[in-house]
Amino acid sequence: MNSIEQNGLNVIADKPEYTAKDFSSDADVRWCPGCGDYSILAQVQRTLPRLDRKKEEYAFISGIGCSSRFPYYMNCYGFHTIHGRAPAFVTGLKVTRPDLSVWMVTGDGDGLSIGGNHMMHILRRNINCNILLFNNRIYGLTKGQYSPTSEVGKKTKSTPFGSIDTPVNPVRFALGCGASYVARTIDREPKHQQEIYEDAYNHQGTSFIEIYQNCNIFNDGAFSQLTERDVKDDNVLPLKHGEPMIFGKESDKGIRLNGLRLEVVSLSDTSVEELLKHDESSQELAHTLALMIDRPGMPTPIGVIYREERSTYDDLANGQVETAIERFGEGDLEKLLHEGETWVVA
C-alpha cells in the first residue's frame, strides 16, 4: 500500500504503484509495424500509472477502425463498439457510472465521418471523459480510401482522380461544437503526448485531443513536415499558456496579430512584446489558432488550444437525481403505483 504524492496529486492511499507494463494486456498488438498507433499506446500506458486511479477504474471505449483496436491492448476495462458510436456508449456509461475514468479512442473516419453527429453531441454536452482522436487523414482498416480529413486532391483507391471535398478541421469542429477542452499532439512527440494526456485527464469535462498519427502503409509521411528533425521546429508552434508564441529551429520566429489575422514575424525585427501570448481561456483566440493549419505558411500549433471550466453533463444529470431525492424523498414504489386517482373495489 502506498501513500505518495506525485505531480501535485494526492494519490489515493490504496492505489498500487503501477508501471506502464501493468496497463499492457496479453493480447498481441496487431497494428502494422511502424504505425504511429504504437507510440500513442505506449504514451497512454506510461501516463496512467501517474494518475490517481486504480486499474479497474479505467474504461476504454472505442468505435471501429485501426485506432479502435486500442482497448484490446490495455489491461483495464475495454469496449470495442460499433462504427462511429463510441460517444454514445461513453455517455451511457459515464452518466450511470460517474466514478469511472472513461477514455474514448477514435479516428478521423470513426469520429468525424460516420460518427460526426455523436461527436458533436458528446462535445456540447461535456461528458467528463477523454477523447483520443487519431488523425491519419486516411482510411486504414478498409485499406486506403480518403478520409474526411484528407487534403483536397488526395489520390486514393476510391479517388483515382483526386478527392474533391473540403476536409474537416477537427479542432475547428470541436470548438464549433462547444468543446470545453481542445488539444493537439503528435505521435512522434512522446513527452508532449504524456503531458497532454495527464492534463486532459485532470480536466473536468470532455477533453478532445487530436493526435496526428502516421499511417505508414496508406498515407506515409502525412505529417513529416511536423515530425522530421530538420524541418519540424520551423513548422510546429508549441503552445504554452501565458507565453508568447515563438517557434523555429533558432526560436527566431513568432506569431503576431495583425488586425484580425495572424502573421509570422521574424524576431530579428520584431520584439517579443509584440507577439501574441497564448491564452487557453480565450475562445476567440482558440478559433483563430484552429484556422492556422489551413493557412499556408503558418506553423501548426500543438498543445492545449482551449480550456473552459463548465459543468459536466454527468454531474448535472446526477445532480438532478439528488435534488429530486431531497425534494420528494427516496422513491417509494408503492406510492408511485398509486399516484393519481385510485378507487377501491370491495
Q: Which of residues 302-321 bind other proteins (CB under 8 A)?
A: 317-318, 320-321
Q: Residue 74 or residue 211: which is nearer to other proteins going by CB?
A: 74
Binding pattern for the stretch 269-298 against other proteins, x by CB under 8 A and - elsewhere: ------------------------------
Which grid cell is 313? 453533463
Q: Residue 20 or residue 317: which is nearer to other proteins going by CB?
A: 317
Could you tell me the smallest distance in angstroms from the CB atom of residue 106 to other proteins?
Answer: 13
162 binds other proteins (CB under 8 A): no
Binding pattern for the stretch 60-99 against other proteins, x by CB under 8 A and - elsewhere: -x--x------xx-xxxxxxxxx--x-xxxxxxxxxxx-x
Which grid cell is 60? 476504454
Q: Residue 143 or residue 335: which is nearer to other proteins going by CB?
A: 335
Contact 67, 73 (CB under 8 A): no
146 binds other proteins (CB under 8 A): no
Contact 52, 40 (CB under 8 A): no
Contact 79, 49 (CB under 8 A): no
Could you tell me the smallest distance in angstroms from the CB atom of residue 185 to other proteins?
Answer: 25
Which grid cell is 13? 492511499
324 binds other proteins (CB under 8 A): yes
Q: Residue 58 or residue 223: which is nearer to other proteins going by CB?
A: 58
345 binds other proteins (CB under 8 A): yes
- Identify the burial level of 270 via C-beta atoms within 10 angstroms of its C-beta, where 0-12 means exposed, 13-18 middle and 19 or more buried: middle
Distances (CA, A) of 157 to 52, 95, 143, 161, 219: 46, 41, 8, 9, 12
Distances (CA, A) of 71 to 44, 68, 165, 187: 11, 7, 32, 18
- Residue 106 and residue 44: Cα distance in Å, rounded? 14
- The contact set with other proteins (CB under 8 A) reads 25, 27, 54-59, 61, 64, 71-72, 74-82, 85, 87-97, 99-100, 117-118, 120-121, 317-318, 320-321, 323-325, 327-331, 333-334, 336-346
